[in-house]
Amino acid sequence: MANVIGVDVGGTKIRAVLFKNNKAVKIKEIKTQAKKGKAAVIKNIVSAIKSVSDGKIKGIGIGMPGPLDSKKGIIHNPPNLPGWKNVPIKDILRKKLGMKIIVENDVNCLALSVLKLKKSKNLIALTLGTGVGGGIIINNKIYEGRENAGELGHIIIDKNGYRCNCGNIGCLEEYASARAIQRLAKQRKLKVTDPVAVELLAKKNKRAKQVYEQFAADLAAGIKTINHSFNPELIAIGGGIAKADFLIKKPLMKILNKDPLMKPPKIIFLKNPNLGALGASLLLN
């Protein structure tokens, strides 16, 4: 079986992984340098791919931030890749690398890897980080809707709440991303400089705990809507904030278990950094 490369392109890091029978055998992670613009990011993607390639690969699967057109491989205008507008990344990379390229939304890729590993046929992947992303698997397949289903970060949880970067008011993303942790910490006079608030995890004082309790309560509101809409077997939570699972999971489950309408799905937190790239590589199967 030929080897494949999966690439996870995020707003801050690009991770390229060479897979042999779905096992990671070579990994390269470099900075995205999103602020330097499109040409720099594309150069970094190519360089990451070349440094893991063994010359025997059958293709490359790439997870990119949405919104995008996965069939044509066109990236529309992702908020965390400034300067990208309707970029035909699939054609660009095929010309540069001379290989089969498949492009998919990054959170859909994560959802595909969970599908492969956990074998739940209906599942949702959520990423909690700079923003909040979603991927929906229904009956073992990515659900794309007309094109961009799964923008679960933009479920409205408070119509009178904070304004989201997307322009709507009260999106889950404003309450379950790193911005939310920063805001909740500030309200409690806790100073946080790290974007995912790692310092706060180490503090272990009462106020820091309260930050994550409120965060969990807000996340629960979004997860209830997801459960009521899709009733999946599994919700898998990834992204940088997943490392706070030991603070989030207990208060989250306490609220979800009291849902009078329906039982919550199984909730797991993902910490393996290769999962996004694995899911991207699975696109080639």
**Interface segment toward Zn ion; rule CB under 5 A; list 122-130, 163-171, 208-216, 251-259:** 163-171
Q: Coil, strand or helix: which one is 178?
A: helix
Nearer to Zn ion, 167 or 260 (CB): 167
Per-residue burial over 94-128, b = 16 or more CB atoms within 10 Å of its CB, e = otherwise: beebeeebbbbbbbbbbbbbbbeeeebebbbbbbb
Specify the residue, 77 or 168, whose C-beta has the smaller distance to Zn ion: 168
DSSP 8-state class, residue 253: H
Structure tokens at 270: 């993902």
In the Cβ-directed half-sphere of 201, how many Cα atoms lie within 13 Å?
15
Residue 164 near Zn ion by CB under 5 A: yes
Site for Zn ion in 191-250 (CB under 5 A): none
Kindly tell me which of 97 and 132 has the beta carbon lying closer to Zn ion.
132
Is residue 148 involved in binding Zn ion (CB under 5 A)?
no
Of the candidate residues 22, 77, 122, 168, the single one contacting Zn ion (CB under 5 A):
168
Q: Which is nearer to Zn ion, 154 or 179 (CB)?
A: 154
Give the C-alpha separation, 107 to 271, whole Å: 14
| Span from 109-117, 156-164, 251-259, 268-276 in contact with Zn ion (CB under 5 A) | 156-164
Q: Does 154 bind Zn ion (CB under 5 A)?
A: yes
Query: Whole-angstrom Cα distance, residue 121 to residue 233?
Result: 8
Does the protein bind Zn ion through residue 274 (CB under 5 A)? no
Part of the chain binding Zn ion (CB under 5 A), chosen from 6-14, 152-160, 204-212, 253-261: 152-160
Among the listed residues 171, 236, 247, 256, the single contact to Zn ion using CB under 5 A: 171
What residues numbered 72-131 form the site for Zn ion, per CB under 5 A?
none
Strand (E) or helix (H) holding 255: helix 245-256
Which CB, 15 or 154, lies closer to Zn ion?
A: 154
Rounded Cα–Cα distance for residues 243 and 150 (Å): 23
Phi-psi region of 197 (alpha: psi -120 to 50; beta: other; left: phi over 0): left
Residue 178 CB, nearest distance to Zn ion (Å)?
A: 15
CB of 208 to Zn ion, least distance (A): 27
Is residue 166 a contact residue for Zn ion (CB under 5 A)? yes
Quote the strand ranges of 106-252, DSSP E.
Answer: 123-128, 132-138, 141-142, 234-238
The residues of the shown chain that bind Zn ion, judged by CB under 5 A, are 154, 164, 166, 168, 171
